[in-house]
Amino acid sequence: MLITGIKSRPIYDELAPMATGTSHVAAAQGSGGEPLVRLLGAMIPGQLAATTVLYSIESFTGKNYLADLRNFAVRELVVFPNNADAVRGLDAFLATAKMGTRLYLSGSEGFIGTSMQVATSYGMNRDEVLREHAGSFVRRVWCAHCSHYSENVSRRIFRCPGCERNLIVRDHYSGRLAAFQGVKADGEVPGELPENEELDT
């Protein structure tokens, strides 16, 4: 679980069945499979039969929970080769979903954040969604200069692949953009870079 002094970072939940829902969709990525297995294990048969699972096997840490996920009698299990495809799969599912649907997200912050963008675009509110962070604490970063998004950033200073600037990753998370903000690292004195520490992720 992520606990840092970053006020803008989302406060994550623990996945547990939302009993008042009439249909459930659980989307996870890599290490997010672990909370997902726990969630499905806590569901009663009726809930499992009303649950669609979307799982991306892309993982920063290399963990894969697909075999465990196959043990549950869910409505549908869809496997995706990468996170972007899983987020698109979630979009397609929500496009025809009805009121009464509950959403469960687990995995990296970038995966949860981009999935939340999709959920929000379909008008889902916070009382219909649970999010549990799992696995690596790498950050998704938005470049304030060229708007490029970089996944899996783990150090304070990095070179933006979009504009080749050296960026410093600020502890400022935007829920709307689902990313931390990256700004030119030597903006004050050209060539003078701050210490390139490992992020407290």
Partner 1 sequence: MSEAHHGSLQLRVKRIEAVTPEINRYTFSAADGSWLPPFSGGSHIRVLIPFEGETRRNAYSLMSSPYDTSEYQIAVRRVDEGKRGSIAMHRDVREGDVLSATIPANLFPVSKHARHHVFIAGGVGVTPIYAQLDELSLKGSSFELHLAVRGPEHAALGHELRERYGERVVLYGDGDGTRLNSYEILGGLPLGTHAYVCGPSRMVDDVIRAAHTHGWTDSHIHFERFEDLGSTGDPFSVTLARSGAVVEVSPEQSLLEAVEEAGHKLPYLCRGGACGECETEVLELEGTIDHRDDWLSESDRCTNKLIMPCVSRATCTKLVLNA
* Interface positions with partner 1 (CB under 8 A): 20-23, 94, 97-102, 120, 122-128
Q: How far is CA 199 from CA 52, 93, 136, in A?
A: 35, 35, 12
Q: How far is CA 130 from CA 48, 170, 190, in A?
A: 17, 26, 44
| Residue 6 Cβ vs partner 1, minimum distance, rounded to whole Å | 26
| Residue 76 Cβ vs partner 1, minimum distance, rounded to whole Å | 17
Q: Which is nearer to partner 1, 39 or 185 (CB)?
A: 39
Q: Which is nearer to partner 1, 37 or 116 (CB)?
A: 116
Q: Which is nearer to partner 1, 45 or 123 (CB)?
A: 123
User: Per residue in 98-117, is it b (16+ CB within 10 Å) or e — as a string?
Assistant: eeebbbbbbbbbbbbbbbbe
Q: Which is nearer to partner 1, 47 or 59 (CB)?
A: 47
| Residue 23 Cβ vs partner 1, minimum distance, rounded to whole Å | 7
Q: Which is nearer to partner 1, 50 or 138 (CB)?
A: 50
Q: How far is CA 16 from CA 23, 35, 87, 126, 136, in A?
A: 14, 9, 21, 15, 21
- The Cβ of residue 15 has, within 10 Å, a number of other Cβ atoms equal to 24
| Residue 105 Cβ vs partner 1, minimum distance, rounded to whole Å | 15
User: Residue 21: CA atoms inside 13 Å, Cβ hemisphere, count?
Assistant: 26
| Residue 128 Cβ vs partner 1, minimum distance, rounded to whole Å | 5
Residue 13, SS3 per DSSP: coil
Q: Which is nearer to partner 1, 24 or 139 (CB)?
A: 24
How many whole angstroms separate alpha carbon 142 and alpha carbon 172? 11
| Residue 93 Cβ vs partner 1, minimum distance, rounded to whole Å | 10
